[in-house]
Amino acid sequence: MRTIVKNEKSGKEFLVSSRFTFDHGLETMVFAYDSARNDVIDWMDLYANNYRLESEMLADHERVAKILKHEELRYGRCNTIDNLYEE
């Protein structure tokens, strides 16, 4: 599952990607994205989380995309969605 999200405040774009990977299993990752180039700007993930169940992964994918659309992103990589955005 892939979702492109544009932040309402900053205009920055993000790719939220959720899938099975051979090294981490079920995973959701967030990358900086540029829709003009239709490509990821930097493959260093800004957020990553792993799951035991596909239903957990899909629910978190939707939650992360919603947060990224409405909240201003902090700088640097975050390991939990709770410290991914400014309060």
Contact 46, 73 (CB under 8 A): yes
pTM of this structure: 0.83
Contacts of 8 (CB under 8 A, 6+ apart): 69, 70
- Domain spans of the chain? 2-83
How high is the pLDDT of residue 83? 54
How high is the pLDDT of residue 86? 47
Taking 3-state DSSP, the helix, strand and coil percentages for the chain, each rounded to the nearest 5, stand at: 25, 45, 30
Mean pLDDT by 10 residues, the chain (87 residues): 94 95 93 95 90 96 93 59 52
How high is the pLDDT of residue 78? 53
